[in-house]
Amino acid sequence: MEFNRGDSEASRILRDIQALKDTKSGIEHKLSVLEARLQEINLQDDAVSNGSSAPSSTVDSGFGNGLTPDMIYRYSRHLLLPSFGVEGQANLLKSSILVVGAGGLGSPALLYLAACGVGRLGIVDHDLVELNNMHRQIIHTEAYIGQSKVESAAASCRSINSTIQIVEHKEALRTSNALEILSKYDIVVDATDNAPSRYMISDCCVVLGKPLVSGAALGLEGQLTVYNYNGGPCYRCLFPTPPPTSACQRCADSGVLGVVPGIIGCLQALEAIKIASKIGEPLSGRMLIFDALSARIRTVKIRGKSVQCEVCGDHATFDQEQFLEFDYEKFTQSPLSASPLKLNLLPSDSRISSKEYNERIINGEAHVLVDVRPAHHYKIVSLPKSLNIPLSTLEGRLPEVSSALKEEEELNGIVSDSTAQLYVICRRGNDSQRAVQYLHKMGFTFSKDIIGGLESWANNVDRNFPTY
């Protein structure tokens, strides 16, 4: 018993130590943010007293290049580059760039844009920082979990470079506010992950005449291009018709290796810097494709500006008024928000809640639980005694379902005129409904779907059950 008390005390001490470390980390982070903000205010005051309106604007330093001694020292490695030099840095300091999305792509893009000296940097996002963001959204820290991503990202940017202006837009980008927000910036970086946002941002950039740096990352692959730049194509030129919703996947559903959006986000920052500083050859009319597994990066030529494009074509009449009235969610058949899809395919008598299913387990009901998630999902976490038959293989594995039901009936001594129950579960309750629809057609008319899947189980039955 003495060992158990010691073990319990050690666990408590470890928890206390971790809690104190978390508190210390949070305090140190907030101190750095406040110090950076104070420095920014002081610089703004100095700029006002010198008759300047922005902390990032260049001043007559007496060196003939418009850069202050601090700027020369801070950006010295840029200035040493013959192809970049004073002119490139001066252009950066005069530029304004908006990053839409402070997630996996936006995080590295924002950090490098802030560090390199973009004069005014805008951040648009309405989401909150979550624990499952940490492996890829490197601009955020654990101290900001549960808080605004924009606030977190802005604090990190200010802690890197307090001499530039950071503008926070803590709201979802919609047609109702996009024109007003995007019109304030020279360049737009699309760091979103859904089809309606991509079309909306591209159309808005065309209407306003803004170049757009667009990136995407999913799984182990990424891609990057520049739209609406120097007569180049817009997003609609390449994709006049939205892809089917089944082809539009998100990281939350399909997964992503954290470093992949990091690489694409860095490249987005690079393209934005090239455009802002007026150096190099931006990726207009070309697309960079990255394959992480094979470590291959290739650049392919893409379709040029389409004369038939409804937004930027030769005879296009798409204007600000049409943009405001356009329904991008209806056009793409997918939501702007990142909320998981919730299907409703079955009648109520073919579905049960996770709480009801738990009650049937407690009551000892004879049943079989089929988990139709992919095998690699099943390995992450699963309910006890469940049978993993991925939805894609269900058709060929119906004999296994029949065999499992028969074995359960024999085990519980069920007579021939009765049968064990059949329940189907998945991650969120969508594939399980598709599976039950198929099972009904194949004669398993008693099968039922568990509403909300394993997420519902974690939220309503077992709070310690892992979610992913």
pLDDT (tens digit, 9 = 90+) per residue, 376-434? 999 999 999 999 999 999 999 999 999 999 999 998 887 666 689 999 999 999 999 99
Distance, in Å, from the CA atom of 197 to the CA atom of 167, rounded to the nearest integer, reads: 20
Distance, in Å, from the CA atom of 10 to the CA atom of 13, rounded to the nearest integer, reads: 5
pLDDT at residue 35 tops 70:
no
Torsion of CA 453, 458, 460, 461, to 10 degrees: 100
Identify the DSSP state of 257.
Answer: -
Range with lowest mean pLDDT among 97-101, 315-319, 340-344: 340-344
Distance, in Å, from the CA atom of 289 to the CA atom of 302, rounded to the nearest integer, reads: 12
| Residue 136 marked as a ligand binder | yes
| Residue 228 marked as a ligand binder | no
pLDDT at residue 21 tops 90:
no
pLDDT band per the 50, 70, 90 thresholds, residue 252: confident
User: pLDDT of 149-208, one tens digit each?
Assistant: 999 999 999 999 999 999 999 999 999 999 999 999 999 999 999 999 999 999 999 999
Residue 107 φ/ψ, nearest 5 degrees: -60, -60
Residue 405: burial class (beta carbons within 10 Å; 0-12, 13-18, 19+): buried
Determine contact, residues 269/196, Cβ cutoff 8 Å: no
| Residue 135 marked as a ligand binder | yes
Distance, in Å, from the CA atom of 418 to the CA atom of 195, rounded to the nearest integer, reads: 49
pLDDT the model gives residue 389:
98
pLDDT at residue 24 tops 50:
yes
| Residue 132 marked as a ligand binder | yes
Max CA-CA distance within the chain?
A: 98
| Residue 248 marked as a ligand binder | no
Q: What percentage of the chain exceeds 90 in pLDDT?
A: 78
Q: Among all chains, which residue has been given the structure tokens 């995080």?
A: 107
Q: Where are the alpha helices (DSSP H) in 145-296?
A: 149-160, 175-182, 195-208, 235-238, 251-254, 259-277
pLDDT band per the 50, 70, 90 thresholds, residue 251: confident
Distance, in Å, from the CA atom of 123 to the CA atom of 167, rounded to the nearest integer, reads: 6
Bridge partners (DSSP) listed for residue 449: 351, 424
Rounded mean pLDDT, 211-238: 97
Distance, in Å, from the CA atom of 401 to the CA atom of 370, rounded to the nearest integer, reads: 8
Residue 106: burial class (beta carbons within 10 Å; 0-12, 13-18, 19+): buried
Structure-block tokens of residue 409: 């009936």
pLDDT at residue 219 tops 80:
yes
Mean residue pLDDT across the chain: 90
Catalytic sites, residue numbers: 251, 426
Torsion of CA 146, 31, 151, 275, to 10 degrees: -140
| Residue 62 marked as a ligand binder | no
pLDDT at residue 3 tops 90:
no
pLDDT at residue 64 tops 70:
no
